[in-house]
Amino acid sequence: MKKLLIYCLAGIGMAACNAGNTKKDLANGVWQAKLHRKDGADIVFNFEVKDTAGKKVLYVLNATDKLLVDDVKVTGDSLFIKMPFFDSEFKAKFASDSAVEGQWIRHLADKDVSVPFSAVANTPERFKVNTPAKGNVTGRWVTLFSSPKEKDKAPSEAIGEFKQDGNVVHGTFLTTTGDYRFLDGVVDGDTLRLSTFDGSHAYLFTAVVSKDSIANGRFYAGIGDGLENWTAVKNDTAALPDERTIATMKPGQQQLDFTFPDMNGKKVSIKDDRFKNKVVVITLMGSWCPNCMDETGFLNGWYKKNKDRGVEVIGLAYERTTDFEKSKKSLTGFLQRFDVQYPVLITGVTPADPEKGEKTLPQLTAIKGFPTTIFIDKKGNVKEVHTGFSGPGTGGHYQQFQADFNRLVTEMLDAK
């Protein structure tokens, strides 16, 4: 009887020990996550956890966009999430079965930066709604952003496009160099809140809404102290400058002339036989650029369907470092995620270099933004230069972009 009691106590002890070492698991369902800035402006987003092929994956949710993140690891009470683009990751611990706390870390060219992060399970709401919306922001808005630290600097202009259903708002801001991708939020009473997160963009917008204006706006950007003021006035006929006029070929110039190494270090020139007598689409891009991600997704799918028509695509990468191997490492995951089939060349020049245009494409007046897309006809002449990209977050603008893109390429292919 005494032996039996000892065995029972030992069994209870082992069970207790095993219970203490029970492996945590990331609960399926929708989570609410927050990046906790020092100024108290939490950047809120949602992600959905699922089991796929015997492992955990999650989807970062922004309006209608679902960004797949398939590098998710749980070790003991620790959680590691590596974002598929932009070289960022989460490192966290389970505070309970339904909550995690840790850091979001961005690996920049010369340093790592981070911000506290937390998330709770079974919380599909993005922002809490207390009262019915007192206004409706559906429509187009001429928007001015200004820096409180640079009062002498002229405001930058954008066009806000929003759709509101009850309290829920989706939309984006259009600029001459691209869009802010998928913004998701609410109007609670007269207060507008919008946010987005994709591993690079980490944005929060707040403002007060009235019938034809948006006032007292604050734009919190990133994990530091990025802050701008903004206001907007409703204008359904508002339009941005023509994307074809922002960067052009210099007077007297018709053709580009460049040679850069591809991902394997092999030199590739626009003058190579592969590109002769073909329509060539050149994209100036970078693995750090969310709009470039959207354009790469479009271009690669388009190229797979159209490459037999006598067209080629070339990516010219402007990475955040001049080191070839570091640039290659940053680009590798980006290109693998889209299974990019066309050559991507590493320019060795950073996007922040004020002389990037002269150093890489001196025939252009300037490089004003990323992506920039250059269309070359079968004679090797530059037909058009388009600055910026209207991605899938822009709705009808994205549909119009695709139609214009296909029309222009077809015209160049049909030209004698």
Residue-wise pLDDT for 94-115, tens only, equals: 999 999 999 999 988 788 999 9
Residue 356: inside a domain: yes
Report pLDDT digits (tens) over 208-226: 999 889 999 999 998 888 9
* pLDDT value at residue 134: 95
132 part of a folded domain = no
Q: How far apart are CA 316 and CA 343, in angstroms?
A: 9
Residues 391, 275 within the same domain: yes
Assigned domain for 253 exists: no
Q: In the listed set 120, 155, 174, which residue is the last one of a domain according to the structure?
A: 120
Domain extent, residue 351, equals: 259-414
Asked whether the predicted pLDDT for residue 331 surpasses 60, the reply is yes
- Residue 404 sits in the same domain as residue 308: yes
In this predicted structure, the answer to whether residue 416 has a pLDDT above a threshold of 90 is no
In a domain, 30, yes or no: yes
- Give the lowest-confidence range in 114-123, 158-167, 237-246, 370-379: 237-246
Number of domains in the chain: 3
Task: Tell me the C-alpha distance between 351 and 289, whole Å.
Answer: 10
- pLDDT band for position 19 (50/70/90)? very low
| Residue range 79-89, pLDDT digits in tens | 999 999 888 99
275 and 396 both lie in a single domain: yes
Q: What DSSP character marks residue 210?
A: -
- The answer to whether residue 246 sits within a structural domain is no
- Residue tagged 């210099």 (tokens): 250
Angle between helical axes of 290-306 and 324-338 (0-180°, round to 10):
60
Same domain, 165 and 103: no
Q: Between β-strands 43-52 and 29-35, what pairing exists: parallel, antiparallel or unpaired?
A: antiparallel
Whether residues 325 and 379 share a domain: the answer is: yes
Looking at the chain, the whole-number percentage of residues with pLDDT higher than 70 is 95
In this prediction the pTM is: 0.89
Q: Are strands 29-35 and 55-62 parallel, antiparallel or unpaired?
A: unpaired
Residue 109 shares a structural domain with residue 155: no
CA–CA separation, 258 and 205 (whole Å): 41
Does residue 6 belong to any structural domain of this protein?
Answer: no
pLDDT at residue 10 greater than cutoff 60: no
Q: Classify residue 378: in a domain, yes or no.
A: yes
**Interval 45-66: pLDDT, tens:** 999 999 998 899 999 999 999 9
Domain shared by 403 and 263, yes or no: yes
Give the domain CATH number at 89.
2.40.160.90
Q: Is residue 127 part of a domain?
A: no
Residues 282 and 216 in one domain: no
Peptide bond into 148 cis (omega under 30): no
5, pLDDT greater than 50: no
Do residues 222 and 318 share a domain? no
Query: Is the pLDDT confidence value at 4 over 60?
Result: no
Are 287 and 401 within one domain?
yes
Percent pLDDT > 90 in the chain is 83
Residue 16: pLDDT over 60: no
Contact 100, 91 (CB under 8 A): no
